[in-house]
Every structure is written in C-alpha cells, then in structure tokens.
Amino acid sequence: MAYFIKEIYFTLQGEGSHTGRPAIFCRFAGCNLWTGREQDREKAICQFCDTDFIGTDGPGGGTFASADELAERLHSYWPTGNEATPYIVCTGGEPLLQIDAAFIKAIHERSMIMAIETNGTKLPPAGIDWVCVSPKAGSDFKLTQGDELKLVYPQPEAMPERFAGLDFEHFYLQPMDGPNTKENTAAAVQYCLKHPQWKLSLQTHKFLGID
Ligand SMILES: C[S@@+](CC[C@H](N)C(=O)[O-])C[C@H]1O[C@@H](n2cnc3c(N)ncnc32)[C@H](O)[C@@H]1O
Ligand SMILES: Nc1nc2[nH]cc(C(=O)O)c2c(=O)[nH]1
Ligand code: SF4
Ligand SMILES: [Mg+2]
C-alpha cells in the first residue's frame, strides 16, 4: 500500500504526556472530519483545526510506495551516535486512515517506538506503543481506550464529563487555540483545579517557536 505523507520533521513533542521528548513527526495527509480547505471549515465536523494536512508537498513529504520505504525514511531523521530509541509520532490529518499492520511492523523491525495522535473515529490496528486520542464534538467517536485522552477545551458538545470514565491512563485538557486562546486556557486551568483527574496540556511548541 502507498502512504501519503504531508511532512516529516524532527522536533520536540509539544503536547500531552510526552511534552519535551525528541520525536520524529510523520504527518499523514487527509482527514475524515475536515477537507482541510478553508472554504469548507464552517461545514466541517471539526472546525478548529490548526494544521495544514492537504497534499504531500511539505518538508520531507511525499508518496511512499511501501511501509519499508516510509519506515526507512523516518529512521533517517534520528540523530546518529546516541543510545535513545527513535520515537515516531504519527499524526495528520488523521493517521488511522492510512496506518496498517505492515507499517507498524516496519517501524518495530527497525526498533523504533510508534505513537499516534488520533481523533478516535477509527479503531487502530494492534501494536501501537502510545495512543493519544482527541475526541471531536459531533464525530462518531469509537476509540474508548488508550494511553492518553487529550481533549481540546471547550467544545460544548464534547465536555470532559463525557470522557472521564473511559479507559485511559492520562486525561488532559488542551485549550482550544484560536481567537479565544487566553480565555480557553483560563477556563481549562479552572476545570483541572476543580476536577483533578484532568491535567493541563499546553501546545508548548507554539510558544517555543518550533514546529
Ligand atoms: C492536528 S491533530 C491531528 C491528529 C488527529 N486528527 C486528531 O485530531 O487528534 C493533532 C492534535 O492537535 C489538536 N488540535 C488541533 N487544532 C487545535 C487547536 N486549534 N487548539 C488546540 N489543539 C488543537 C488535536 O485535537 C490533536 O490533539
Ligand atoms: N511540536 C509539536 N508537537 C505536537 N504534538 C502533536 C502535534 C500534532 O500536530 O499532532 C504537534 C505538532 O504539530 N508539533
Ligand atoms: S480531526 Fe484532527 S486533523 Fe482532522 S480536522 Fe480535526 S484536529 Fe484537524
Ligand atoms: Mg500540531
């Protein structure tokens, strides 16, 4: 199977449990909750997306003919001469529209760790090492277990109470970035203080000025 990749880059994980961890980002093209075109945003299921995931034209992007070819390319982004195990974050767009068993196998054959960021509308194939689920209001939410649930806050039809009982190790609120970032951040802080099951996730890469 071919894989359509918007961009590949090496940076620090900016969000959630692994904030600060060096990671190779593999951004899959395409999403099932928005076309990615500005003129379609208003009628999209997910309307607050901060990401360009259309096409394969970003840095390191392209069409990869096989799982081995993509895994090999990802591996080449890890700095040589150190002991740490390469850590890959698959995101998008929606990575579970494309990730299959062959790709997971190709990652593990090269002794790399595979994490995903997903909207939770598709069930993942077995074997992914770290699953971060970020539910979206109005979507057909299916993935009720994983390592970390990272809810963008606030979403009136997807408030934290709906997700607090699900099978995750970590529960995060991530303030919705946009015209009301400051108010959303203050509201997320207040929610966490009242409901300490939830922790705050900030998009640290945005204020660090890294990708
Ligand atoms: C661009 S999405 C790609 C992965 C997947 N489609 C998803 O939604 O989880 C990566 C992460 O960014 C979050 N995100 C997107 N737009 C955001 C915004 N405006 N403010 C805060 N987080 C946002 C998503 O909820 C998700 O956790
Ligand atoms: N540094 C950095 N960390 C991230 N964590 C999740 C991201 C994403 O877009 O999925 C992201 C991103 O775009 N950049
Ligand atoms: S589901 Fe994820 S990639 Fe798709 S539009 Fe929403 S935030 Fe963006
Ligand atoms: Mg991002």
Domain extents for the chain? 3-208
121 lines ligand 2 (CB under 6 A): no
Ligand 2 atom at minimal distance to the Cα of residue 204: 1
| Global model pTM greater than 0.95 | yes
Q: Which of 4, 7, 51, 132 gets mutated to test ligand 3 (max ligand atoms within 8 A of its CB)?
A: 51
Q: Beta-carbon neighbour count of residue 72 at 10 Å?
A: 13
Helix pair angle (101-109, 67-75), 10° resolution: 40
Half-sphere exposure of 96 (CA within 13 A, CB side): 21
Q: How far is the CA of 1 from the centre of ligand 3 (A)?
A: 23
Question: Which ligand lies nearest to the CA atom of residue 204 in the structure?
Answer: 2
Give pLDDT tens digits along the chain (211 positions): 899 999 999 999 999 999 999 999 999 999 999 999 999 999 999 999 999 999 999 999 999 999 999 999 999 999 999 889 999 999 999 999 999 999 999 999 999 999 999 999 999 999 999 999 999 999 999 999 999 999 999 999 999 999 999 999 999 999 999 999 999 999 999 999 999 999 999 999 999 999 9
- Residue burial 81-101, b: 16+ Cβ < 10 Å; e: rest: eeeeebbbbbbbbbbbbbbee
Q: DSSP characters for 89-125?
A: EEESS-GGGT--HHHHHHHHHTT-EEEEEE-SSSPPP
The set of protein residues with a Cβ atom below 6 angstroms from ligand 1 is 31, 48-51, 91-92, 94, 117-119, 134, 150, 152, 174, 176-178, 203
Annotated binding residue 85: no
User: What type of residue is 173?
Assistant: L
Question: In the chain, what's the furthest Cα-to-Cα distance?
Answer: 49
Alpha-carbon Rg for the chain in angstroms = 17
CATH tag, 3-208: 3.20.20.70
Active site residue 57: no
What lies within 8 Å, CB to CB, of 36 at 6+ separation is 30, 49, 52, 53, 54, 93
Are the C-beta atoms of residues 67 and 88 closer than 8 Å to each other? no
Q: Annotation-wise, does 49 bind a ligand?
A: yes
